[in-house]
Structure 1
């Protein structure tokens, strides 16, 4: 709990409390609540020839969350980290998935803190392995499809891995990618998106003028889902807003344009798990990206 410290306005008045005053270590008998779970890994980024540093993301996110005001009513827990320190990314993803499945079984809402976007395959596996998951929809806010076909898992493969796992195990899966950049995905990746039935909006179509219609389109895409996994790769944001990522985005989608899509997804009432990926503290100027990540988490749990 070393990362949980900050300002105290009044130690006796709950209306002044901040996250560091209410978060508790996860225990087996804990009442259902919000469970923060870190995935301290940048092995997938390394394998994908990206800039490492995201393994430090969970600690930085805790620091950024610690001083935020409490605006939620559910209990808040820190479930610790699953780390990839030996190069065995696949084993770390399996361990992370087991933690997610256990948290869901105990009635918690898991919030994953990356780490590279290789967290996504672990999150998907955790949800897919839970009881009553039913038809799953993945909503990924990301400049990249992350549908690479690679001999080993990387930060660029998780959603093709999920698609293949679902097909092999009789799981109905819909994949929605919002904020896709034509400058960040090859023609092969766009073809893979078509072959896997991926629905997507490119960054240039996510504008204020078209926001209402596009949000409604996403709502329609999500109607068949029984369970939704929402994931945000911070490189969907412009570089000026989120510099601390492996692959900075020259254009990106602004926070005010992303928020209605996040809200519409959460308002379905079927989001079972959420994570934020690619926070890389060594590359983060003035902790700007960590602060954006914390604000996104704060807004989602209210």
Structure 2
């Protein structure tokens, strides 16, 4: 007799791909490139990075694309370079120059005060070339078409804004002051706007010349691969189990509960807050759950019954326990 083979799980090649995005590419460019490298059309991204920015971009591959909308990616970290002495209409060097008074030094007390004023819970006017929609169209599209937009301020949180180095450089014969900074913030915070507002507070003008995202939620550059590395070894950074256990809390479930949630049914709640992974006796994730209305409901079935029995189930028909659920 031929050896028994387990049914396919539908999770081959599925997981999260953390890319170290290069400068000059849009997030959509990166997705298109990764589709070719991994040989699949089923890739999506969680959030975007500007073409000038580099660093952590989280993609979902195959079945793990369903995880993207559940990920808590509300905290982000960046390293950046703020240039004092010039200001641009886009708050970065890719726009039109507005003023160039130059700068070779700033008073340390004034710098500290300006940075402190931009730290914590603040109201921030987004960068004019942001991806925010205004009357159904992206702000950056309208601005680059010549429109003048007055975007309203929004609440954001900057939990860390540290100046770690500074140096004088010359740009087209003009002496300017570059500040290397590190920023931890919430989603929706524009580091370009921090550069603009810092320069305004110091009276020098300011804009962003370098932006690198080092962390999104729990995913860091340690998880990331460059496109060159992916070309040599095209695979996800974390498979479906690793992704779920990195991004979410966990709940241990027994074999009977694993069968229940593999059919998309709910369990009794245990007081777990937020989306969490239901982990079966074999250590694999069966589903993602979220408690509400007195139930622990499945928000994503990672290993549905239609993909075959879980690895720790015996062969043969699976009997679904009668839980009284429809």
TM-score by length of 2: 0.23
Larger Rg: 2
Task: Name the structure with the higher strand share.
Answer: 2
TM-score by length of 1: 0.24
